[in-house]
Amino acid sequence: MSELNLEIDGRAVAVPPGATVMDAAVKLGIYVPHFCYHRKLSIAANCRMCLVEVERAPKPLPACATPATDGMKVRTNSAGAKSAQQGVMEFLLINHPLDCPICDQGGECQLQDLAVGYGKSASRFEEDKRVVPAKDIGPLVAAEEMSRCIQCTRCVRFGQEIAGVMELGMIHRGEHAEIVAFVGRTVDSELSGNMIDLCPVGALTSKPFRFAARTWELARRKSISPHCGLGSNLVVQVKQNRVKRVLPLENEAVNECWLSDKDRYSYEALESGERLTRPMLKDHGQWREVDWPQALERVAAELTKAAGSVGILATPHSTLEELYLAGRLAQALGGSADFRLRQSDFSGDAKRGGIPWLGMPVANLDGLDRVLVVGSFLRKDHPLLAQRLRQAAKRGCRVNVLHSVDDDWLMPIANRKIVPPSELLEALRGVNGTPIGESLRSGRNVAVLLGNFAQQHPQAAQLQAAAQALGYPIGFLGEAANSVGGYLAGLPVGGNAASALGHKALVLLNAEPELDCADPQTAGQALERAQFVVALGAFRPARDGADVLLPIAPFAETAGTFVSTEGRIQSFHPAVRPAGDARPAWKVLRVLGNLAGVAGFDYETLEQVREACLRGKDLAALLSNRIDLAASPAAPAPQGLQRIAEVPIHFADALVRRAPSLQKTRDAQPPRAWMNARLMQQLGVSAGQPVLIRQGSGEARLAAALDDRLPEGCVRVPAAHASTAGLGAMFGTLGVQAVAVGKAA
Amino acid sequence: MLSPESLRRIDREIAKYPAEHKQSAVMAALIVAQDEKGWLATETMDFVAQYLGMAPVAVYEVASFYNMYNLEPAGQYKLTVCTCLPCGLQGSLDAADHLKARLGVDFGETTADGRFTLKEGECMGACAMAPVVLVNNKKMHDYMSNAKLDALLDELRKR
Amino acid sequence: MLDYGPDAILMAGLDGANWRLADYEKRGGYEALRKLLADQVPPERVIAEVKKSALRGRGGAGFPTGLKWSFMPRQFPGAKYMVCNSDEGEPGTCKDRDLLRYNPHSVIEGMIIAGYATGSTAGYNYIHGEIWALYEQFEEAIEEARRAGYLGRDILGSAFSFEVYAHPGFGAYICGEETGLLESIEGKKGQPRFKPPFPASFGLYGKPTTVNNTETFAAVPWIMRHGGDAFLNLGRPNNGGTKLFSVTGHVARPGNYEVRLGTPFARLLEMAGGTRAGKRLKAVIPGGSSMPVLPADVMLATDMDYDSIAKAGSMLGSGAVIVMDETTCMVRALERLSYFYFEESCGQCTPCREGTGWLYRVVHRIETGRGRAEDLALLDNVSDNIAGRTICALGDAAALPVKSFLKHFRHEFEHHIEHRSCLVSGPDSEPKWGRAGAHLPPAMARAA
């Protein structure tokens, strides 16, 4: 159909059929005041602020909801439109408290801004103002001053439409209408913080940020999220060298205008009491603070001594530059370096066609019409990629799942197959002919996406090959900020994450092995066995396995580059100075290289390191999900109960583990041992009862919990948590035993 | 949570709507639940939400939007009197005053013995028969003179 | 026998107990449907006949019914719905209750014929929650019709299938607004939808839907049996047929009266027994509480049809005639109306949510002797800021009475403000009721 030609404020504009007057105004750059309208949400037309005059219409019409028609003539600032807008503004203000001076939204409040343009200087309303009681809806979103609410319902629609779960609603009616969570409930969505951004007034504000600063006092610095592989764009807001708040930087191609709560609130860890702020040496079992030269010389000496057997374990949350220098250091000193700490199968390393990646731009997820997600805790591992698929599903994309758990992704699932971890590969190989296979076959824009669980699986390479064999484009949902960047930095070097543990000297970069490695027991043993361990980290490690601790600057305190799962290279500058004596890790690694006499290690700036890393590399050409691997025969069924281990969203990396508000959320509740009813009966345990989990040489005591959607013979026991850090590999078998109540384990 | 009879009644309501629109039965389900329980406690709303596959807060929205649901325990007999203009012209406000005096409670209050809750209602669509009193949402009494009101109270007290 | 007046056609032959199917059939009920199906009358011809009858919506807006039906897309695959609005809650209106109580099958037959004419697959009757007994009775009537083969698959051996269900309201005036009603059937709060899209293209569950008032449906079988012309000729051009009027307030015999459209108001008043002995007529709201009030002299010179009342400055609305005699304090009367809209605003859009409370509070202040000189200008302006700026017509409904009361009875408001007492009941009538609002000033209470 042809475009519609209309005129707004005397200016001609053409819009496609279906567009609204608001769309047309936006296209012209004409601002129509509004509160309830948001381009990412359904149209409510309830605030009435965007009333405009339309020729031949008997009354003013809301620009947000009025379809543009051919030949339409619209006036957004005529006397009639202005009078309607001013009338609405007066109504919005009569019951709105005059508490701007103590309101966190002050200075960035849509109501405040528009009141300047459309409000009067004095009120004609002389009755008592409405008072709406405060609500406690959880640790992240403050709903303390609900009298400020203007009932635009953006937060409600966000829950229904974007987060996929309606946790807030507007109860009662008329003047008594108020936004609430269900009686006694909190808002638990992993995307909840976005409601704060959406709230046009100070009704929903950030709880951790409450009363911390005025918006105009804050310096705004761009940054990139260090957590999942999406690489969300951030605005880090700073006052007096302290990060006060993190907001999304709108980037339609990446995070749109959203952030996951993890991205938004992890900054709180920067001020954690566990920050490591001075280099420390262990002398005769006693820690003491030392100055940097002393610490660096000791480390350099030990590494030189261990030359030929230096293992470097870096988390994929490290920057590209850090990983590049780590790789070069391992190369020069002799040894190995890797960033894939939770991976357990490296048999694909020599068989891969390139760097595993999403296989498409993130934004292309929107256009998929069939997708199979294999082995992914999608909602918690990749909250915003899940959000993209949720929107795609709304548009008709059929989402299929092959996994070992059946969590609620808050989107329609076309078909699901839930199998024990040991059967994941066979299930994937056998997809054709099943309902999932049929679903994929009927699509025109199909993708098979491999999640964290599939990548951490002991048959990860075979899973990749099996996915490839289905004949559809495949993609990896990158676990961490630099899951692609690690490869681009030249890692792995001289082996892999498992073999690196075998070296005499170990260098830990951002890593807490008992929480970040595929097998905490093996990692722990390696640390004990090693002659020398140096840990470069922003926090004091929970487990005392190192000989030297070097304080490095984490996210927001350092500069660097992350290469996202779609292969987007995003560099960022520090937002604040490092805490205490912490130093950017790239500088620490460079000095170590210098002291150890590594040639060509004389980088003066971060840009030089980046340049050296990227020189001559064409990332697009390096990205490939192809694998040339012969199908292995089916593995024999394991004897015993299989462990299903996820990495809980707020325990995935050192930073988020120490973010206090996130640690108060429902998602951060201590892990439990989930099993289905049949297994519970077999074991003679009931939900809530403590059980003793034994795996390898370690054990953990957890509360049993019921999840009847789990496959037979499986126990879901999360990893990356202190309570399960004594256990073995994320994949494997374990023993479960009821603990008699009252008896010590 | 709800009796088999209540569930049967709810199922009958669900059957009126397309299978994918079970939510349509929420108003009826809450009426049935209120009939059985007397009011809509949090657990009751939660149960209805689960039964119909709705978000609990969406059920709460419905229960609080329509003013015949009791969100807190009411007396054994909830008496609702319409106070709109036409009924008022025909004496319903007098009738309300009479009830207030007889029961010793104001609108929105329950008698100390827990027997009667007096509620201000809005148009019941029976204006010509005013004064109109609704007993427990379901039974309408019209042309309520003071004498008839007294008789009604006496009868309900005897039950 | 129930007496609705000599012109009654919808309510003719009713004795209060003969609501059942057999009785209805004895009165000629379901003949129209039988004939349509037997003769395989094309649906367009049914719509043409209804258009010819000049039947206009009986719920309030008075929209031509045949035209409304013709908006339903013909070639739409899948479900289409016919919805009956029995959520009668406009203060003053109590006619649909009588229809459902005494003649429910006329409504069911009307819905089936409408379903046939529009190719709809099912109908829902949304019944006001406060008349629960009639909800149950209506379900019984549906069951009777189903057993007799008037509902269900292949009705009376034709290829036409149609179902009717009852849906309960439970205390929300706003559900009388058709899109609020559809939201309510979907199991949500009854908050009206922004239009466009209109229900005919995006209605119940997003499917094409027509919503008509109970009385509108009840008129359809008569029209099909006697022809559109016969119905039209009962009334006036563009105002076909008879209409049920609920006459309430200060009349000797409040009740429902069915008269031909165009009947003089004086005649209707006479049927209701006139004003009470010795009292002069003061004011009338001719079409339900949402419509502008008119002074006695204007009303006494007006006929009861859509166009005449519009010409007189109000609207026929739902046909609720609220009669006020000289003992009525108009400030108090408006205060009651404003309280109603304040309490019944759904709260969705700003002008209505905030404005209805403001209006009520100001009128209440004036009523209770705390008015200010600037209040009348304020009321007028706040009403202007509500009317025409809301999603649905409730905003207008709250604003129009205020404006019309001020227009015709301004002196009473001025007196209240100036003298802090009532012009009607004198200076010693200290109003005593509070915000919950149960009391009239003594004058009005005495008069009632």
Residue A602, CB-side half-sphere exposure with 13 Å CA sphere? 2
Cβ-nearest to A171 among B46, B55, B61: B61
- Asked which of A21-35, A516-530, A731-745, B61-75 is least confident by mean pLDDT, the reply is A731-745
How is residue C112 written in tokens? 């089936």
Residue pair A439/A415 in contact (Cβ under 8 Å)? The answer is yes
CA nearest neighbour of C386 among C360, C420, C416:
C360
What is the domain class of B4-65 according to CATH? Answer: mainly alpha
- Which of chain C's residues have a Cβ under 8 Å away from the Cβ of A59? 388-389
Interchain contact, A127 vs C361, CB within 8 Å: yes
Which of C83, C432, C440 best tests the B interface by mutation, with the highest count of B CBs <10 A? C440
Q: Which two tokens stand for residue A557?
A: 């305190």
The pLDDT value given to residue C426: 59
What confidence tier does C20 reach under pLDDT thresholds 50, 70, 90? very high
Mean pLDDT for C73-78 is 90
Instruction: Write the DSSP string, A348-385.
Output: TTTTBSSB---SS-GGGGGG-SEEEEES--HHHHSHHH
Q: Summarize pLDDT for C293-349 with one digit per residue, the tens.
A: 999 999 999 999 999 999 999 999 999 999 999 999 999 999 999 999 999 999 999
Would you call A182 an interface residue with chain B, using a CB distance cutoff of 8 Å? Answer: yes
% pLDDT > 70, chain C: 95
Position A740 pLDDT exceeds 90 = no
Q: pLDDT band at A489, cuts 50/70/90?
A: very high
C426 vs C89 pLDDT, higher one: C89
User: Nearest Cα to B72, choosing from B115, B103, B22, B38?
Assistant: B38
- Omega before B131 within 30 of 0, i.e. cis: yes
- Which chain C residues are within 8 Å of B125, Cβ to Cβ? 88-89, 93-94, 96-97, 128, 130-131
pLDDT at C434 (0 to 100):
29
**Helix (H) or strand (E) segment spanning residue C403:** helix C394-419
Instruction: Give me A170's structure tokens.
Output: 């507007």
CA distances from C403 to A249, C6, C294, C310, C317 (A): 49, 37, 11, 16, 17
Q: Token digits for B39?
A: 């009011």
> Inter-chain contact C248–B120, Cβ cutoff 8 Å?
no
Residue A113 clears pLDDT 90, i.e. is over it = yes
Cα–Cα dist B25/C187, whole Å: 6
Instruction: Say whether residue B53 is in contact with chain C using an 8 A CB cutoff.
Output: no
- Residue written as tokens 């976005």? A194
H or E element that contains B159: none
**Cβ B60–A171 below 8 Å, yes or no?**
yes
Confidence at residue A745, expressed as pLDDT on a 0 to 100 scale: 43
Subunit contact A185:B60, Cβ cutoff 8 A: no
Residue B155 has pLDDT above 60, yes or no: yes
Q: Which residues of A fall below an 8 Å CB-CB distance to C?
A: 43-49, 51, 58-60, 62, 65, 67, 84, 87-88, 90-92, 94-95, 124-125, 127, 130, 150-151, 170, 172-177
For residue B82, give the chain C residue with the closest CA.
C438
Contact A173 C196 (CB under 8 A): no
Is B50 an 8 Å CB contact of chain A? no
Would you say residue C53 has pLDDT above 50? yes
Question: For B44, which residue in chain A has the nearest alpha carbon?
Answer: A183
Q: Which pLDDT score is estimated for A741?
A: 67
Residue A742 pLDDT level (bands cut at 50, 70, 90): low
Comparing CB atoms, the residue among B88, B94, B100 nearest residue C336 is: B88
Residue predicted with more confidence, A109 or A636: A109
Mean pLDDT in chain C?
93
Q: Look at residue C424 and tell me whether its pLDDT is greater than 90.
A: no
Q: Is the pLDDT of residue A613 over 60?
A: yes
Residue with structure tokens 């097998």? A519
Overall average pLDDT of the A233-241 stretch: 97
Say whether pLDDT at B16 is over 50.
Answer: yes
Q: CB distance B64–A183 less than 8 Å? A: no
Task: Give the pairing type, strands A168-171 and A178-181.
Answer: antiparallel
The whole-angstrom separation of Cα A378 and Cα A223 is 24
Mean pLDDT over residues C7-13, rounded? 96
Judged against a pLDDT cut of 70, whether residue C156 lies above it is answered with: yes
The whole-angstrom separation of Cα A182 and Cα A136 is 11
Is the CATH number of domain B77-158 3.40.30.10?
yes
Chain B residues touching C133 at Cβ < 8 A: 138-140
State the pLDDT at residue C234: 96
Residue A635: its pLDDT value, please? 80
Which pLDDT tens digit goes with each residue over A115-168? Answer: 999 998 889 999 999 999 999 999 999 999 999 999 999 999 999 999 999 999
User: What pLDDT, in 10s, does the model give residues A645-682?
Assistant: 999 999 999 999 999 999 999 999 999 999 999 999 99
Is the pLDDT assigned to residue A372 strictly greater than 90?
yes
- The residue of chain A nearest to residue B64, with distances taken between CA atoms, is A172
Name the residue ranges covered by the structural domains of chain B. 4-65, 77-158
Chain A contact for C194, CB < 8 A?
Answer: yes
DSSP state of A249: P
Least Cα separation, residue C187 to chain B (angstroms): 4
Among the ranges given (A38-52, A447-461, C229-243, C427-441), the one the predictor scored with the smallest mean pLDDT: C427-441
Quick one: pLDDT at residue C423?
A: 85
Q: Please report the pLDDT score of residue C442 as a whole number.
A: 30
The pLDDT tens digits of the residues spanning C221-260 come to: 999 999 999 999 999 999 999 999 999 999 999 999 999 9
By Cβ distance, the residue of C89, C255, C447 closest to B128 is C255
pLDDT range class, residue C435, cuts 50, 70, 90:
very low
pLDDT tens sequence across A522-551: 999 999 999 999 999 999 998 888 999 999
Instruction: Let me know: does C121 contact C80? Beta carbons within 8 Å.
Output: yes
Burial of A240 by CB count in 10 Å (0-12 exposed, 13-18 middle, 19+ buried)? exposed
- Kindly list the partner chains of chain C, i.e. chains with 3 or more CB atom pairs below 8 Å: A, B
Nearest to A530 by CA among A511, A498, A499, A505: A505
DSSP per residue, C177-220: SHHHHHHHHTTS--PPPPSSSPTTTS-GGGS-EEEEEHHHHHHH
Contact (Cβ atoms closer than 8 angstroms) between residue B119 and residue C237: no
Contact B16 C289 (CB under 8 A): no
- Residue among B42, B57, B64 minimizing CB distance to A167: B57
**CA distances (Å), origin C113, targets C106, C139, C162:** 11, 19, 10
Looking at the complex, does the CB of residue B101 fall below 8 Å from at least one CB of chain C?
no
Answer for the pair C267, C253: CB distance below 8 angstroms, yes or no: no
Q: Which of C194, C348, C350 sits opposite A92 (nearest CB)?
A: C350
In this structure, the number of other CB atoms found within 10 A of the CB of residue C386 comes to: 31
Q: Does B69 touch chain A (CB under 8 A)?
A: no
Confidence of residue A1 (pLDDT cuts 50, 70, 90): low
Question: Which of A46, A58, A173 has the CB atom closest to C345's CB atom?
Answer: A173
Distance from CA of A146 to the nearest CA of C (A): 15
pLDDT of residue C429 exceeding 60, the answer is no
Query: Are C388 and A58 an interchain contact pair (Cβ–Cβ within 8 Å)?
Result: yes
- To the nearest whole angstrom, how far is the Cα of A276 from the nearest Cα of chain B? 44
Distance, in Å, from the CA atom of A8 to the CA atom of A77, rounded to the nearest integer, reads: 10
Tell if the CB–CB gap between A173 and C189 is shorter than 8 Å: yes
Mean pLDDT of chain A: 96
Give the rounded distance of the alpha carbon of A438 from its chain centre. Answer: 32
Q: In angstroms, what separates the C-alpha of C39 from chain B's closest C-alpha?
A: 30
> For residue A56, what are the CA distances in angstroms to A4, A111, C380?
18, 30, 25
Kindly indicate the confidence band of residue C425, based on its pLDDT and cuts at 50, 70 and 90: confident
The 10s digit of each residue's pLDDT in A272-319 is 999 999 999 998 889 999 999 999 999 999 999 999 999 999 999 999
The amino acid at residue A222 is K
